[in-house]
Amino acid sequence: MTVSDPKWLQEALVPLRRESATGRGFPDRLRAAIRAEANERSPVDLSDLLESHPNPTVFHQALSARLHEAARDFPEDALEILLTETPPHSMFSERLGERLDTAKRAPAPVVRLPGRGRKVARLLLVALLVGGSAYALLHFVRKSREGADRPSPHHSSFRSPPVPKGSRQVELAPHPTQSSPQPLAPLDFRPTENVPPPARVPRVFPSRTPSAAPAPETWLSPPQLSPPQDETEALSLEPLRPQHSDAAQIDKTRPSGLEPLTLEESEEIEGASDGPRLDPLRRPDADSDRASSRQTFEPSEPGPRRLPRPAPAPSAGSPTVR
Amino acid sequence: MSDGDELLSAAKAGDPDAFQEIIAPHIDVVWRLSRSFARSIDDADDLAQEALVKAFRTLRTFRGESTFSTWLYRVTRNSCIDWYRSRMAKSRQREGADEVDVAAESSRGQQALLEQKQRIERVRDAVARLDPKYRVPLMLFDLEGLSYEEVAAVEQIPVGTVRSRLSRARAQLAEILGGPGPHE
């Protein structure tokens, strides 16, 4: 017998071959670890994703699946997914990264984002969750970041560049009540004691593992949109359900489905949460119920960011968002 | 598209259940390879789990240029070597604890179990004394039954190098274990 003859080695290794990973709870722990990893995955590198999925539809599906999964249980992760693909050396990215790191280290998840980043994140998240084009929105984010150093973001028009055929183009403008740049207003994502019940919104991407309880959604306040400059810039908002712009309230407990949001539910949701609310998107035939719905969109407590009373109704057919 | 491809696609998209399914046949191999680097079962569990979670995290980088098992073993191998480099000092400290455990069992009179454990530990210690560049080919080829080509793919070295490393690994192991010499 020589060293090159593996028989002696096989005999020596027999005891090691008999060892197995099973029988000590390892598979269960591994399963839990992988599931946790699935929920806490590292942020998507959107640039990489974009390159590997040149087809906008596939890109959208891949990104939305990740986003939807993250948003279900880990809102701050959803933000991270949306925003960590910022340019590596930009001030915006650094500040955001610091704040997210701080949030991770903090006992309670407190995420404070720059006002602009928060706005972009909300817009992206809302648009993605209701079926907007992630492909176009990604370009929008890049475009808007390019102007991050401008003195006032409210004087710039954030329009996404030409997008692939079939994608929706989104025109976003600052809220008319914002006359000057907002300071870096802290946004506290800690769950409040009175968490509003989840609203019914169209679920575009079905979840595989429904969460047991809805996560705090106070960070998902609706985006602030303003009327377009002219008719040609009007935003196509059919998927956003114009009569209920509070689509950011994600239903995390219901299975996927496109159940319509009733007026009663909308009022219930609006009454349960604080903070400024948007007026619903106006419809030509919505004058009759505008008064009641407008009242519910007002903040429960008067504050400095309270929205003014709406102006007279615009011309019919213009999907105006306040 | 086959079921395997669909599972792989789902796993790459982040489906943990699909990933669990495709790694199921390989868990023992991953664990034993991890065990050859770890000084305790708990460490082996941690290391194997770390490698598999890392594989799940980086699965989207798998382009199908090799078999999934080859890719998975390579991820495991890299994790093990990282572990080896970072935890060597800590592992040495744990040898004392293992000896205490063995002594405690000896006092209970479980002689047969003790002898079996000592045999296993003797082989394991011998394997653990091998340089990782010899240890991994030995484990994959002689313990897990991979082919030269598969080991070469995992190690990303030529087949000839695999053969020479295996030869050196066996010679070193024989020397450590007091096994057959090259001229026996």
Three-class HEC string of A16-53: HHCCCCCCCCHHHHHHHHHHHHHHCCCCCCHHHHHHHC
Nearest-CA distance A148 → chain B (Å):
32
Check CB contact under 8 Å for A3 and B57: no
- Planar angle of CA A196, A200, A296, nearest 5 degrees: 55
Q: Give the mean pLDDT of A14-20.
A: 81
Check CB contact under 8 Å for A12 and B30: no
Confidence of residue A120 (pLDDT cuts 50, 70, 90): low
Across the interface, which of B30, B142, B182 has its CB nearest the CB of A13?
B142
Across the interface, which of B16, B31, B182 has its CB nearest the CB of A34?
B16
How far is it, in rounded angstroms, from Cα A233 to Cα A242? 17
Confidence of residue B165 (pLDDT cuts 50, 70, 90): very high
Report ipTM for this prediction.
0.76
Q: Give the mean pLDDT of B102-125.
A: 68
Nearest-CA distance A207 → chain B (Å):
11
Is-contact A241 A200, C-beta < 8 A? no
Considering A4-13, A123-132, A207-216, A293-302, the range whose residues carry the highest mean pLDDT is A4-13
Structure tokens at A128: 């993605």
**Read out DSSP for A41-106?**
PPPP-HHHHHHH--SHHHHHHHHHHHHHHHHHH-HHHHHHHHHTTS-TT-HHHHHHHHHHHHHHHS
Q: How many CB atoms lie within 10 A of CB B181?
A: 12
Please report the pLDDT score of residue A169 as a whole number: 40
* Partner B contacted by A8 (CB < 8 A): yes
Three-class HEC string of A219-257: CCCCCCCCCCCCHHHCCCCHHHCCCCCCCCCCCCCCCCC
Structure tokens at B152: 């070469």
Structure confidence by residue, pLDDT tens digits, A76-103: 554 555 555 443 434 444 544 555 455 4
Check CB contact under 8 Å for A12 and B177: yes
| Residues in B touching A24 (Cβ below 8 Å) | 41, 45
DSSP-derived letter for residue B144 is T
Structure tokens at B146: 């991979």
Please report the pLDDT score of residue B26 as a whole number: 92
| Residues in A touching B177 (Cβ below 8 Å) | 12
Burial category of B120 from C-beta neighbours within 10 Å (exposed 0-12, middle 13-18, buried 19 and up): middle
Is-contact A224 A175, C-beta < 8 A? yes
Model-level pTM?
Answer: 0.43
Q: CA A209: distance to chain centroid?
A: 19
B10 vs A281 pLDDT, higher one: B10
Which region among A6-20, A154-168, B34-48, B71-85 has the lowest average model confidence (pLDDT)?
A: A154-168
Residue of chain A with shortest Cα separation from B16:
A35
* Partner B contacted by A28 (CB < 8 A): no
Please report the pLDDT score of residue A218 as a whole number: 40
Q: How many CB atoms lie within 10 A of CB A291?
A: 8
Structure tokens at B42: 């708990």
Burial category of A63 from C-beta neighbours within 10 Å (exposed 0-12, middle 13-18, buried 19 and up): buried
Considering A76-85, A226-235, A296-305, B152-161, the range whose residues carry the highest mean pLDDT is B152-161
- Per the document, the length of chain B is 184
Selected residue of B7, B9, B20 to mutate for chain A interface (largest A Cβ count, 10 A): B20
| Residues in A touching B52 (Cβ below 8 Å) | 30, 33-34
Say yes or no to pLDDT of B118 above 90: no
| Residues in B touching A19 (Cβ below 8 Å) | 31-32, 35, 120
Residue of chain B with shortest Cα separation from A7:
B142
Structure tokens at A181: 């740049």
In a 13 Å sphere around the CA of A298, the CA atoms on its Cβ side amount to: 12
| Residues in A touching B179 (Cβ below 8 Å) | 3, 8-9, 12
Q: Give percent of chain A above pLDDT 70.
A: 10
How far is it, in rounded angstroms, from Cα A20 to Cα A295? 65
Structure confidence by residue, pLDDT tens digits, B65-79: 889 999 999 999 999
Please report the pLDDT score of residue B69 as a whole number: 92
Selected residue of A1, A9, A47, A205 to mutate for chain B interface (largest B Cβ count, 10 A): A9
Nearest to A272 by CA among A211, A309, A217, A321: A217
Residue of chain A with shortest Cα separation from B41:
A21
B16 φ/ψ angles, rounded to the nearest 5 degrees:
-70, -30
Confidence of residue B158 (pLDDT cuts 50, 70, 90): very high
Selected residue of B50, B52, B122 to mutate for chain A interface (largest A Cβ count, 10 A): B52
Please report the pLDDT score of residue B91 as a whole number: 54
Structure tokens at A248: 């950011």
Across the interface, which of A6, A16, A37 has its CB nearest the CB of B53?
A37
Mean pLDDT, all residues of chain A: 51
The residue written with tokens 């106070």 in the block is: A218
